[in-house]
Amino acid sequence: MIHQRYFRIICISLLSIIPLSAGILLPIFLINDSETVITLIISWAVTAASIIIITLYSVFCYFSTKKYDPGLRALDYSTLDRFIVKTDVWFFKRLLIFDIDGKYVGMTKIDINGIKSFFLSHLSYYNIIVPLLYRIYDHEGNVICMFKRAGFKSAVVNIFDADGESIGRVEFDEFKTLIKFSGHAFTENGTYQISSEIFFEDAESSLMKLSSFKNRVEYHYIFRDMNNETAELKSPISETEGKAGLAVLALLYYFRW
């Protein structure tokens, strides 16, 4: 599954050359100043070279990960307590969830069901949680759980199961979330304090942990990426709290990204 992410990077990189070339090279025919023309050509060449390098590296990663694709894994909270999350390359923000062996576990994405949600989803690129429904899916495309901010003026994110029943909530400090996350998760079994380092790195909680210090060398070969944060759910954990833990994990990534 990780190879499909690299395939999307290749496609977007190649497609981006077209508008880039049109935006930089077309004005050349309208400009008489030779120095400006040379500057535009150099800018285009440097940018195009960067895109080509990214594309070539992504091609290498695509074939490497495709050859050793470990497949899929069902979400079982009794045996699966460690995850690696990757931001996907897509029109809207979405996350890919894997186990530590690279097996695809599921996906998180924003529910886009109309013009309003389409435009609101673009606000998520400003490191905020917009009041839209975020769904977490398993490897077969079935909804595991959902979460939604109560409103733009609210510092509460409600967590639901696949049937829309409430299974918890997260309350956060809205001012602190400009640079780090600080808040509490409330589930049926208790309250958990959640705090992250600056810029939402390395979160610590008794419900779940997010650590960049457990980035093993073998992860680099599996994902062809140097940055592989390991997320851990508390163990043992109930199914309901496991869903809440996954929601908190996705929440942190959406705040950061």
CA separation for the pair 148, 156 (Å, rounded): 9
Q: Could you tell me if residue 77 is inside a domain?
A: no
Q: Could you tell me if residue 72 is inside a domain?
A: no
Q: Could you tell me if residue 216 is inside a domain?
A: yes
CA separation for the pair 115, 87 (Å, rounded): 24
Q: What is the DSSP letter of 73?
A: -
- On whether both 57 and 92 belong to a single domain, the answer is no
| pLDDT score of 158 | 92
- On whether both 137 and 36 belong to a single domain, the answer is no
Q: Could you list the pLDDT tens digit for every one of the 257 residues in the chain?
A: 788 888 888 888 888 887 777 777 777 777 777 777 788 778 888 888 888 898 998 898 889 888 888 888 888 877 877 888 888 888 788 899 998 888 899 999 888 888 888 887 777 666 567 788 899 999 999 999 999 888 877 788 899 999 889 998 888 876 666 677 778 888 888 888 887 766 656 777 778 877 766 666 677 778 887 777 788 887 778 888 888 888 888 888 887 76
CA separation for the pair 180, 198 (Å, rounded): 5
Whether residue 234 contacts residue 245, with contact meaning beta carbons closer than 8 Å, is answered with yes
Q: What is the DSSP letter of 72?
A: B
- On whether both 90 and 213 belong to a single domain, the answer is yes
| Prediction pTM value | 0.82
CA separation for the pair 137, 78 (Å, rounded): 18
- On whether both 93 and 199 belong to a single domain, the answer is yes
Q: Which domain covers residue 190, as residue numbers?
A: 82-256
